[in-house]
Homo-oligomer: A and B are copies of this chain.
Amino acid sequence: MEYRRIKDQDKDEDAVHDDVESLRGKPHSDSPINALGGSSVDRTKWKRKSVVTLALTVLTSSQAILIVWSKRAGKYEYSVTTANFLVEALKCALSLAALARIWRKDGVTEDNRLSTSWDEVSVYPIPAVLYLVKNLLQYYIFAYVDAPGYQILKNFNIISTGVLYRIILKRKLSEIQWAAFILLCAGCTTAQLKSNSDQVLQTPLQGWVMAIIMALLSGFAGVYTEAIIKKRPSRNINVQNFWLYVFGMAFNAIAIVVQDFDAVVNKGFFHGYSLITVLMILNHALSGIAVSMVMKYADNIVKVYSTSVAMLLTAVVSVFLFGFHLSLAFFLGSIIVSISVYLHSIGKPQR
């Protein structure tokens, strides 16, 4: 099995992972510098992991805030497919710009050259295809569930990511970390409870099945991306991103032709774009890159925690920005998610 190898190749990363885990939450552990044995390489790795995780959290919450802002400003008047295409194009451009800097500094090496082999690149379209199938299913699930219900069912993603992470990447979570992960799912759902949330229990069987399939597709896409990126630990992340995003661009170009061909031809590619649209594209591009970085330097579990905490941050910020009210359910959910984060950090597996 191909993924088994990733685990072994990645032992070094893994060791750092454990150290980071221990110093993040354990009150009895030594200071970060002692815990990492004072090695500056390890310190750099730990810093890098923290920075990308923080970036993902901040970008994801500002993303949600931009969506609320754009909804308040009026309906989407631009073609969503063109915006998605531009997000992928921008990510490609940013990866190339980062690579250009690296080439100037270090020269072109085996690890940072853009040219690739069929063996390396052949798996890169798979996440894009998985997300495409998931997005297609999204249209059909609304026949069975309304939008608030779908928001609640989407929390299955948390569980599916944990299960697939364990099965496909063969990484172990301790019993406490599993308990923490189920709590994360329960806490996020609790935080989202509205007075009409019980309707989701009336979802017909087809709706449940589709929600579970979508959660599995989404979880599989995330775990598969991590597997691709970690398969070659020494390969430069910007090269890996470049190839991921090239296929993203290709699939979104097809989507423009299929869905919005007439609108683009008649009204132009950029019709209906506003300042918010541009900010959203910029934000999506940056958070997309942050996700890749988290996959490279941390893992899917960190990604799930990061986006869950971002969901809570969004709600708190919305109180100040938009005068939202926080519900009792939100407070309870936040407590549960906080304890989940704490338990995850103290519950690292014993080896």
Contact = CB atoms under 8 A, between A and B. Distances in A.
Contacts of A186: 332, 335-336, 339
How many monomers of this chain does the complex have?
2
A111 to B, nearest CB: 42
Interface stretch (A39-47, A190-198, A290-298): A190-198
**Interface residue SS majority, chain A:** helix
Contacts of A209: none
A308 to B, nearest CB: 15
Contacts of A346: 175-176
Contacts of A187: 336
A223 interface: no
Interface string A321-348: 0000101110010011001001100110
Contacts of A213: none
A109 B329 CA distance: 55
A117 B195 CA distance: 58
Contact of A176 (B195, B197, B327, B343): B343
A175 to B, nearest CB: 7
Given A195-B195, A343-B343, A336 B176 contact: no
Contacts of A193: 193, 328-329, 332
A38 interface: no
Contacts of A336: 183, 186-187, 190, 336
Contacts of A183: 183, 336, 339
Contacts of A63: none
A163 interface: no
Nearest to A188: B332
Contacts of A179: 339, 342-343
Contacts of A329: 190, 193, 197-198, 329
Interface string A299-332: 0000000000000000000000000010111001
Given A179-B342, A189-B332, 17 more contacts: A27-B175, A175-B346, A176-B176, A182-B335, A186-B335, A187-B336, A189-B328, A190-B329, A190-B336, A193-B193, A193-B328, A193-B329, A195-B195, A198-B328, A198-B329, A201-B328, A329-B329
